[in-house]
Amino acid sequence: MEKTIVELRNVSKSFDNEMVLDDLCLSVKENTFLTLLGPSGCGKTTTLRIVGGFTKPDTGIVLFEGKDITNLPPNKRHLNTVFQKYALFPNMTIGENIAYGLKISGKSKSYIEDKVKYALKLVNLDGFEKRDVSLLSGGQQQRVAIARAIVNEPKVLLLDEPLGALDLKLRQDMQYELIRLKNELGITFIYVTHDQEEALTMSDTVVVMNKGYIQQMGTPENIYNEPENAFVATFIGDSNILDGIMLEDRLVEILGVKFPCVDEGFGRNKPVDVVIRPEDVVLAQPGRGRMDGVVTHLIFKGVHYEMEVMAGGFEWLVQSTVCHPVGEEVSLDVDPFNIQIMNKPESEDEEAVPIDE
């Protein structure tokens, strides 16, 4: 059974009387790559800062390996943080930056030298000990910041949007580097980002947050393929979200048309939200699908064509490797397994799902 290394119990936090986290509960398993994902202001960075000891919760406790660390300062916790702004010391060499924490801890010179060389090798900066940090590229500075954190052998590494300042290609390269480091070192990663692709690419577990609540927690595949509510479906990738009527088990009415599905237990004639991913909409010749329409917009995206199809009074987003030009009449269909049915929330701020223990 996987061991829980970090746990937040009933954590709440407000700033200027505005609730940022509301009774948050979260368990992080040892040696996982967990990503806190959500829009600006959802509470993900505040959650990370509470774990790191930089922000104290108004209520609730933080546990590390079962021990209460809520009131411990950051330097007393077995974790390190890498921020988006790397905060390197400009008057120190790369080696001195990485060694800083070890020197404060009173480690021997030979020990420090060995650890610095090991850390630089891990981040592919062998032989850079004497370099001036101001002469490094953004990606190299980011690697130094990570080396400075891992050289202290933390059990948990916290990363607050550390790739946000990098260009696309470098950001993608560093995503693979972080995955490699996590696998080599056996450190638990807690990562904050608003980039959905980054979260899906890197994580073992994704925690989708909004308005101080956890909306859904699960594997990247589960989050993408089985969104629990309309917010998650909209935030993670593109989606067609439609009003539907669950007529009975495995049968839903969308825009007046009956579609077979695989969901059960919603009752009869119940209003629901229906999520259909654009890559799951199948286009065929008119009359051969469940709903006829016409292509109104077309964009070539490289790996696929992105089209908008007006059908049933709704503008469907469709992604396909087959091009259907604007003005072409088509018919659309969806495999029953690709239709996701969700309960409609009773209020805008309704917390979507409890966390499965």
Tell me if 172 is assigned to some domain.
yes
pLDDT in tens, 98-133: 999 888 888 899 999 999 998 998 888 988 999 998
221 lies in the same domain as 248? no
105 lies in the same domain as 243? no
For residue 355, the model assigns a pLDDT of: 37
For residue 349, the model assigns a pLDDT of: 53
65 lies in the same domain as 198? yes
Tell me if 275 is assigned to some domain.
yes
How many Cα atoms are found within 13 Å in the side-chain-facing hemisphere of 324?
Answer: 24
**In angstroms, rounded to a whole number, what is the distance separating the alpha carbons of residues 274 and 352?**
15
What are the DSSP calls for 157-180, one per residue? EEEESTTTTS-HHHHHHHHHHHHH
Task: Share the mean pLDDT of the chain.
Answer: 91
Least confident range from 26-35, 92-101, 294-303: namely 92-101
168 lies in the same domain as 36? yes
Pairwise pLDDT comparison (106 vs 68), residue with the higher score: 68
Percent of the chain with pLDDT strictly greater than 70: 96
For residue 348, the model assigns a pLDDT of: 54
210 lies in the same domain as 250? no
Q: Which H or E run includes 235?
A: helix 230-235
135 lies in the same domain as 283? no
Tell me if 292 is assigned to some domain.
yes
Mark which of 197, 225, 253 sits at the end of a domain: 225
pLDDT in tens, 264-321: 999 999 999 999 999 999 999 999 999 999 999 999 999 999 999 999 999 999 999 9
pLDDT in tens, 212-237: 999 999 999 999 999 999 899 989 98
Tell me the whole-structure pTM to 2 decimals: 0.87
Question: How many domains are contained in the chain?
Answer: 2
157 lies in the same domain as 266? no
For residue 347, the model assigns a pLDDT of: 58
Mark which of 204, 225, 246 sits at the end of a domain: 225
- CATH number for the domain spanning 161: value is 3.40.50.300
Tell me if 17 is assigned to some domain.
yes
**In angstroms, rounded to a whole number, what is the distance separating the alpha carbons of residues 154 and 144?**
16
Which pairing describes strands 305-311 and 240-248: parallel, antiparallel, or unpaired?
Answer: unpaired
pLDDT exceeds 80 at position 181: yes
Tell me if 357 is assigned to some domain.
no
Q: Which residues form the domain of 307?
A: 238-343
293 lies in the same domain as 323? yes
Tell me if 131 is assigned to some domain.
yes
Tell me if 348 is assigned to some domain.
no
For residue 357, the model assigns a pLDDT of: 34
- CATH number for the domain spanning 264: value is 2.40.50.140
213 lies in the same domain as 166? yes
For residue 351, the model assigns a pLDDT of: 41
Task: Tell me how far CA of residue 162 lies from CA of 47, 252, 260, in angstroms.
Answer: 16, 43, 44
**In angstroms, rounded to a whole number, what is the distance separating the alpha carbons of residues 355 and 357?**
6
Task: Tell me how far CA of residue 203 lies from CA of 188, 192, 219, in angstroms.
Answer: 11, 11, 8
Tell me if 355 is assigned to some domain.
no
61 lies in the same domain as 192? yes
Sheet holding 329-334, edge to edge: 281-284, 329-334, 291-300, 305-311, 314-320
pLDDT exceeds 80 at position 167: no
129 lies in the same domain as 169? yes
pLDDT exceeds 80 at position 344: yes
* Burial tier of 237 (Cβ tally within 10 Å: 0-12, 13-18, 19+): middle
**In angstroms, rounded to a whole number, what is the distance separating the alpha carbons of residues 268 and 4?**
41
pLDDT exceeds 60 at position 245: yes
Task: Tell me how far CA of residue 93 lies from CA of 107, 240, 291, in angstroms.
Answer: 19, 52, 65
217 lies in the same domain as 267? no
Mark which of 200, 225, 250 sits at the end of a domain: 225
For residue 184, the model assigns a pLDDT of: 87
